[in-house]
Amino acid sequence: MKHWDRRPIEVRNLFNPAFCGLVLYRAMATFQEIDDRGMPFSMSLLILPLTLQRQSREVIQRGNKNFLLKVIADHPELQVDFGQRCIDIFPFTLEALGVLNSVGTMSMQSEGRLIVVGDGVKKTVTGTEESKATQRAAAFLGKQFARIGHSSTIYSTMGIRP
């Protein structure tokens, strides 16, 4: 990772670790509402690639009344270059998880599950329209991931290997 002040302004804005952490937090919190053991680390790696890209986020939002697996089946374009997007965003995901951990809003369990702790993040979704849309998409994904239950199912549906 480049030092913060050496990153292009676009990268600093889109991949701001605090914002990315908030997006991950929204997904982990809704996941934890269904499965109190917390989100498996491997699932957390899929949240930012699906929510930060506008086209993916819009497909997810349009289909939010359906099950995620049906949305993916109906929109195979979500799978195009998805594996590479995950690889490209991986360092930003780790950075965001580090921020959440450092401010005490997330903890990693010995089984590799991520849980949200404390009341450090407001439950109300605020920000610009795009920011709110991203957070809502992440919350939807967290809930759907918990209902699916297995990382391998989600990974294979997206056409990638863990």
Q: How far apart, in whole angstroms, are the C-alpha atoms of residue 153 and residue 50?
A: 16
pTM attached to this predicted model: 0.89
pLDDT of residue 138 exceeding 90, the answer is: yes
> Which pLDDT score is estimated for 86?
92
The pLDDT tens digits for 46-71 are: 999 999 999 999 998 887 677 888 88
Beta partners for residue 106, in sequence order: 116
Which tokens sit at 62? Answer: 């349009």
The pLDDT tens digits for 75-134 are: 899 888 999 999 999 999 999 999 999 999 999 998 899 999 977 677 777 778 888 899
pLDDT of residue 4 exceeding 70, the answer is: no
Which tokens sit at 139? Answer: 């919350």
> Which pLDDT score is estimated for 29?
95
Tell me which residue of 110, 129, 103 sits closest to 25, measured CA to CA.
103
Q: Which contiguous run of DSSP H or E holds residue 8? A: none
Residue ranges covered by each domain of the chain: 4-157
User: Burial level of 53, CB count in 10 A (0-12/13-18/19+)?
Assistant: middle
Q: How far apart, in whole angstroms, are the C-alpha atoms of residue 55 and residue 71?
A: 13
